[in-house]
Amino acid sequence: MLSLSRSLLISCCGLFIVAPTTCLALEVSSQAVTEKALLEVPELVQVLSIDGQEGYSNFLGGRSRVQELSVGEHVLSVRYTQLFNLNADEHDILKSKPMAIRFVAEAGKTYQLSVSPPKRYDAAKEFAKQPDIKLIDKRTGTSQQAITVKSYAEASLVDTIGKAFQNNEETSTKQSDNVQLLQDIWLRATPTERQAFAAWLANKAATAK
């Protein structure tokens, strides 16, 4: 009798003879996993925020870890950080300025943040001034670089401006110059000026539809 019960329980997902609610829960759980994306974070990259929300990593980045992401567009605020032991009594923590990456996470995909700093302290110190942090789509191998920013809002707007200049391939060089100019102006602008420009940009986008 005990053996028969075990057999029925094992085969419940196929025949729904015993505990069909358990089988349904397993199916829903499996679907939930496929509707998410994963972000692999190495120990030398610290995630400061995701979509403006802080608290995704501890100080110094900690160990390599995996973060679950919902499907859709995200803005990551990250920085390079590394501890160097200079001698028995001294150490230094290298930290870059905040950088941002804006991307669209697709269901079932795994994305990986990547950074390859020099091993020597002096070289790494220079590297920290402008680190090369990339986000890699592990399925396709494509990547995009992080840009230096001061805030999550700035990252979103700078990226939006950049996209506005990517429609005409024939003027790509001119577009690149314009994007750089707009970024420079944005960084020098006051909070009030930035707010006014953001309102103007939103109005232009609305009237263009």
pLDDT (0 to 100) of residue 17: 42
d(C-alpha 75, C-alpha 146), whole Å = 10
- DSSP letters, 127-176, are HTTS---EEEETTT--EEE-EE-SSHHHHHHHHHHHHHT-S-GGGHHHHH
- pLDDT on residue 42: 93
The whole-number pLDDT of residue 10 equals: 41
Using alpha carbons, list the distances in angstroms from residue 209 to 165, 203, 204: 17, 10, 9
State which H helix or E strand residue 32 sits in.
helix 20-34
> pLDDT of the chain along its 209 residues, tens only?
444 444 433 444 444 344 444 444 444 444 455 689 999 999 999 998 888 887 665 544 456 789 999 999 888 989 999 999 888 888 999 999 989 898 999 999 999 999 999 999 999 999 999 999 999 999 999 999 998 877 666 776 666 655 554 444 444 555 556 677 777 777 777 777 777 787 777 777 666 65
Decide: 80 and 42 in contact? Cβ < 8 Å: no
pLDDT for residue 163: 56
Which residues share a beta bridge with 47? 78
Which pLDDT belongs to residue 162? 55
What pLDDT shows up at residue 92?
92
Helix (H, G, I), strand (E, B) or coil at 189: coil
With 0.95 as the threshold, say if the pTM is over it. Answer: no
pLDDT the model gives residue 108: 94
Q: Is 58 strand, coil or helix? A: coil
Q: What is the predicted pLDDT for the residue at 49?
A: 86
Rounded CA separation 53/76 (Å): 9
3-state secondary structure of 179: helix
Closest CA to 78 of 144, 27, 148, 16: 148
Angle at 38 between CA 36 and CA 44, to 5 degrees: 155
Contact 58, 91 (CB under 8 A): no
